[in-house]
Structure 1
Amino acid sequence: MCYFYVMFNVRKRTQHLPFDDRRNVMNSIVDMHFTQSLLDFERTRDREIANWRKQTHLVEFADYFEQQWLKGRYWRWQLYHNPEGYVLTNNPCENLHGGLKHFLQRRKHHMCRLLEKI
């Protein structure tokens, strides 16, 4: 599962929370994402989930996050699952699209001109 999809869904789920709580939740998830090993991830996860559970208005979100993104079907969104230097997206079309944008310098061309340029 793509990390950005996780963040998108978490952002939708936390819209009703105060700004500081949303920022803390997002920072916690970023910390979990950028861990370097399984042990480091487990320590960070346990610490952040415990912090969320201390705040009564975040208990429901902690349950959601744990069930959906840690124990559910989509659990491989952390960075340490991918070898260093490998692509971080699970969709090859996104890689191709990004390469084309880089090659064409993000300019829009007419289809004939585009095919000539490629």
Structure 2
Amino acid sequence: MILTDIRTLHYSKNYIEYEVNKQNIFTKWFNYAQLRDFTGYFIKEWINGVFKNWVIFTSPSGYAGTNNPIESFNAQFKKQFTKFSPRSLIDCVKLICDDVIPVYSESTREFKFTREPNVKVKNLAKKLDDKLFFISSNDPNLVYYYGLSSISTIDIFNKTCSCRWFMAYSTCAHLYKAFQLFYVQTASSKFVIRARRGPKKNGESKIETNEGLTKD
């Protein structure tokens, strides 16, 4: 229950929704005697403390709200370079200069400033009903998805969506699906999703590409 409630707070889309969720959740928590100390701690540290900007509407879409990327890099550093053995500060500096910097400076991996849809996003998009997507009659770049509890507005031109998932991760299944259904070539975007043309080879299925699709 606690994890579900914290997740609900985290995915609040705006300040008003956040305040309503907060009031309902803390009222429920205080009804449990064993949660009162924890509720006081949570309010002090995570609502009124210095770490209060962890809700998705307080930061840009896709902005990292934790230090997980740093911890992931540290894990790779220990696994590949130090082999999990303790090192002195001088040894670490020498290791970084002699081994780490040459490896990463010669890497051909491109640094991307935008986020691309992953496998999870694409799988979720397959489950979305095509009939729930409607293109705007006034603007061909606007698409509306009518979900069970809310309506998501998708901007194909700017590659954005109003859903919670996009606010948190800067990519979503609604946006990916909208490109598949209503993609329109614009000056600001490259070709995004298209089926391969021409006859199929034996054993080959239709292939989709996602070049340029950025921020499920």
Count of residue pairs the alignment pairs up = 85
Q: How does 1:70-81 map to 2 (within 5 A)?
A: 70-81=47-58
Q: Which has the higher strand share?
A: 2
Give 1:88 shift.
1.8
Q: Which residue of 1 aligns with 2:35?
A: 58
Who wins on radius of gyration, i.e. which is larger? 2
Provide TM-score, normalisation by structure 1: 0.58
Unaligned runs of 5+ in 2: 82-98, 108-216
List, as ranges, runs of 4+ consecutive aligned residues in structure 1 with deviation greater than 4 Å: none
Q: Which has the higher helix share?
A: 1
Q: Deviations over 1:38-90 (max 9, x none)?
A: 111111111110110011111111111111110122211111101224x2247
Counterpart Cα distance in 2 of 1:115 and 1:31: 39
Q: Which residue of 2 aligns with 1:30?
A: 7
Counterpart Cα distance in 1 of 2:40 and 2:66: 26
Counterpart Cα distance in 2 of 1:32 and 1:116: 41
Give 1:26 shift.
1.0
RMSD: 3.1
1:46 to 23, 32, 46: 23
Percent of aligned pairs with the same amino acid: 17
Higher relative contact order (CA 8 A, sep 6+): 1
Unaligned runs of 5+ in 1: 1-23, 102-106
Q: Which residue of 2 aligns with 1:82?
A: 59
